[in-house]
């Protein structure tokens, strides 16, 4: 339907036009359409992944809502915790939704509370720093503060509920992936959710006899447009956008460097740097990396092989070895 919609010169999307596109597809391509089977494991996996994506989007909305509420209660709240959805942060904001609830709490009491809810030790001065930030912000109490406090508590409970549901879904995905003989999670950086997303969007890998077919389907392969003696390459906007986003996010993850200056995958990091040194922009180099990832994923799914991760290597050591070679 998406391809049919784009093939017609219509700028506005309406329910009537979508219905017309569905009718066109059914009339003209009925014999080539895949059969829908609710018992098919790919269909079941796709539904579970879609449900997980909806939960993630819902949680993003809730966290943005919590940010907007806390900005008026705790102007310095971004300095309290590394993330707003950690166990310690959620427990803190649920118990102390505004400074009025914490004004009589000592640093020792707050530290004991944070240690109990996070399940691990906290820096000795963390509780004191939070109290210092609150005191520096001054009195932020406003009219109908109790109502706003109840809203903060409600949003925190919804975030926690969503996080628990996501944990349950991830366990179900892990169990379901055992029915697929693919070892995508052997790649460092590929979680159960990412592997499930790849499999659900690609489906049966036998549909793609070559990696190039999968690259075109995912929108990774560029489209060449020629006129006369001139030609140019452009990004394919008709590919599977969800699959393209997974490859894009995975490529970014694989070239990332940790705080300890260790590359997650030194081979992909070197390949990316090589393309940049050849004169390509970082976006173009990332496109090249996505294309290589397509080859690897296609090979792993076709031949059911496992990925061998390189050892983590410090970027400084890599730079020194390059200089010695020069």
The pLDDT tens digits for 80-117 are: 999 999 999 999 999 999 998 998 899 999 999 998 88
Domain 44-174: assigned CATH number? 1.10.287.4070
Locate the domains of the chain by residue range: 1-33, 44-174, 183-223+239-326
Q: Which residue has the higher pLDDT, 261 or 208?
A: 208
Q: Kindly provide the residue ranges of all beta strands, DSSP E only, lying in the chain, ordered along the sequence.
A: 223-227, 230-234, 262-263, 313-314
The pLDDT tens digits for 46-86 are: 999 999 999 999 999 999 999 999 999 999 999 999 999 99
Cα separation, 64 vs 2, in Å, equals 31
Cα separation, 246 vs 84, in Å, equals 25
Angle between helical axes of 266-277 and 241-254 (0-180°, round to 10): 100
Is a pLDDT exceeding 80 seen at residue 241?
A: yes
Q: Are 190 and 250 in contact (CB under 8 A)?
A: yes
Q: Are 276 and 282 in contact (CB under 8 A)?
A: yes
Cα separation, 59 vs 162, in Å, equals 7
> For position 325, what pLDDT does the model report?
39
């Amino acid at each position: 339907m998406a391809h049919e919609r784009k093939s017609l010169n219509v700028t506005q999307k309406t329910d009537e036009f979508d219905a017309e596109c569905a009718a066109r597809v059914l009339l003209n391509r009925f014999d080539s359409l895949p059969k829908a089977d609710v018992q098919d494991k790919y269909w079941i996996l796709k539904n579970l992944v879609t449900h997980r994506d909806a939960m993630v989007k819902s949680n993003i909305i809730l966290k943005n809502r919590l940010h907007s509420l806390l900005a008026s209660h705790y102007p310095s709240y971004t300095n309290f915790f590394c993330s707003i959805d950690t166990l310690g942060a959620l427990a803190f904001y649920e118990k102390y939704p505004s400074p009025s609830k914490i004004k009589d709490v000592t640093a020792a009491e707050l530290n004991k509370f944070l240690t109990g809810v996070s399940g691990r030790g906290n820096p000795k001065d963390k509780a004191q720093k939070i109290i210092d930030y609150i005191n520096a912000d001054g009195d932020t109490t406003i009219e109908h503060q109790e109502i706003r406090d109840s809203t903060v508590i409600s949003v925190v409970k919804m975030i926690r509920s969503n996080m628990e549901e996501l944990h349950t879904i991830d366990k179900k995905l892990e169990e379901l992936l055992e029915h697929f003989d693919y070892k995508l999670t052997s790649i460092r950086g590929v979680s159960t959710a990412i592997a499930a997303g790849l499999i659900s969007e690609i489906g049966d890998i036998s549909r793609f006899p070559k990696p190039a077919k999968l690259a075109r389907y995912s929108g990774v392969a560029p489209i060449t447009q020629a006129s006369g003696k001139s030609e140019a390459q452009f990004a394919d906007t008709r590919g599977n956008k969800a699959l393209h986003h997974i490859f894009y996010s995975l490529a970014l993850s694989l070239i990332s460097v940790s705080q300890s200056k260790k590359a997650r995958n030194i081979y992909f990091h070197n390949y990316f740097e090589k393309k940049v040194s050849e004169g390509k922009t970082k976006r173009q180099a990332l496109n090249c990396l996505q294309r290589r990832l397509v080859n690897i994923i296609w090979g792993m799914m076709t031949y059911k092989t496992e990925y061998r991760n390189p050892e983590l290597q410090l970027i400084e050591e890599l730079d020194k070895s390059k200089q010695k070679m020069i």
